[in-house]
């Protein structure tokens, strides 16, 4: 059993706090940009386009992730406290909301550039596990999105929460949605024939599957509880994104 008593603040400059969660977003974006430019994109023109695209990604992640959390996970609270929607430094971001945000800004970015949105979405899919891994590690440090009670020997006591031994569900997700997903997608991207959209579809399928499974060990959101059939909101949404991935896969495979 491990005792989690990490400080969510990485360091402080005068009265300004730099939190691990903020660093996870920043470092994840930087590493993703570097990895694409260094290893995945060979055409100089596409490298320049990708540099411009990063700004769109940041906007999509922030706006989509925040609105996704507000609408999906805590709408009742924020409808009564609308000004707090802007206070993203207090936490509250949704992966699925960020996913929708990225898709929308990618379509906008490619509309007048004669480029396929799936080319850029495939690049995001290959590198997204880097940011997901760092994000889940920061969730663990922050003692948030913690697991359900358990007696396994690798259980963690989040003393900022309670005195129960819990699953380190954040670390499960960091491994599955971060490390394992990164290895699988990069292998497919580099070793199979590249068909725009196939990698994006496989990302949706595998991420949704991993997220659905880990949610069985993760404590449901207290404001929502279980939604249906003892499934959490994360599991319900993962079912839809899984089906979307299956549909996209066969759509792109038939075109190939």
Q: Beta strand pairing status for 156-158 and 2-4?
A: parallel
Would you state the pLDDT for residue 166? 98
Residue whose C-alpha is closest to residue 136's, from 164, 105, 95 = 95
Confidence label for 160 from pLDDT (cuts 50, 70 and 90): very high
Would you state the pLDDT for residue 14? 83
Is the pLDDT score of 201 beyond 70? yes
Outline where the chain has alpha helix (H): 20-35, 44-68, 75-80, 95-111, 117-141, 169-173, 181-191, 198-214, 233-255
Is the pLDDT score of 116 beyond 70? yes
The helix or strand, by DSSP H or E, that contains position 217, with its residue range, turns out to be: none
Is the pLDDT score of 191 beyond 90? no
Enumerate the β-bridge partners of residue 156.
2, 166
Q: Beta strand pairing status for 16-19 and 9-13?
A: antiparallel
Is the pLDDT score of 225 beyond 80? yes
d(CA 34, CA 29) in angstroms, rounded, equals 9
DSSP state of 174: I
Would you state the pLDDT for residue 15? 82
Greatest distance between any 2 Cα atoms in the chain: 58
Burial of 145: CB neighbours in 10 Å, binned 0-12, 13-18, 19+: middle
> How much is the average pLDDT of 203-228?
96
Q: Which residues, in sequence order, are CB contacts of 139 under 8 Å at separation 6+?
A: 21, 145, 170, 173
Would you state the pLDDT for residue 255? 65
- Count of domains observed in the chain: 1
Confidence label for 239 from pLDDT (cuts 50, 70 and 90): very high
Out of 61-75, 97-111, 186-200, 207-221, pick the least confident. 186-200
d(CA 136, CA 142) in angstroms, rounded, equals 10
Per-residue pLDDT of 64-113, as tens digits, reads 999 999 999 999 999 999 999 988 877 789 999 999 999 999 999 999 78
Enumerate the β-bridge partners of residue 157.
3, 165
Q: Which residues span the domain enclosing 110? A: 2-255
Would you state the pLDDT for residue 94? 95
Is the pLDDT score of 26 beyond 80? yes
Q: What is the CA radius of gyration of the chain?
A: 19
Per-residue pLDDT of 34-74, as tens digits, reads 999 999 999 999 999 999 999 999 999 999 999 999 999 99
Percent of the chain's residues with pLDDT above 90: 86
> How much is the average pLDDT of 188-217?
93
d(CA 216, CA 238) in angstroms, rounded, equals 13
Is the pLDDT score of 175 beyond 70? yes
Is the pLDDT score of 249 beyond 80? yes
């Amino acid at each position: 059993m491990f005792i989690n008593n990490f400080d969510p603040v990485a360091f402080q400059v005068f009265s300004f706090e730099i939190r691990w969660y903020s660093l996870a977003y920043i470092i994840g974006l930087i590493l993703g940009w570097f990895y694409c430019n260094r290893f995945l994109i060979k055409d100089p023109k596409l490298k320049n386009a990708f540099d411009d695209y990063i700004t769109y990604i940041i906007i999509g992640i922030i706006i989509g992730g925040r609105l996704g959390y507000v609408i999906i996970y805590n709408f009742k609270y924020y409808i009564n406290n609308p000004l707090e929607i802007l206070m993203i430094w207090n936490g509250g971001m949704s992966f699925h909301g960020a996913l929708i945000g990225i898709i929308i800004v990618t379509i906008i970015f490619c509309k007048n550039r004669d480029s396929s949105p799936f080319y850029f979405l495939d690049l995001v899919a290959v590198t997204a596990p880097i940011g997901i891994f760092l994000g889940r590690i920061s969730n663990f440090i922050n003692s948030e999105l913690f697991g359900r009670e358990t007696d396994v020997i690798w259980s963690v006591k989040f003393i900022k929460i309670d005195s129960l031994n819990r699953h380190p569900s954040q670390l499960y997700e960091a491994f599955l949605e971060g490390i394992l997903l990164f290895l699988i997608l990069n292998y497919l991207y580099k070793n199979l024939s590249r068909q725009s959209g196939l990698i994006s579809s496989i990302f949706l399928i595998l991420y949704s599957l991993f997220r659905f499974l880990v949610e069985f060990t993760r404590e449901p959101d207290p404001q929502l509880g279980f939604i249906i059939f003892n499934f959490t909101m994360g599991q319900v949404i993962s079912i839809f994104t899984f089906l979307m991935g299956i549909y996209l896969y066969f759509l792109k495979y038939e075109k190939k």
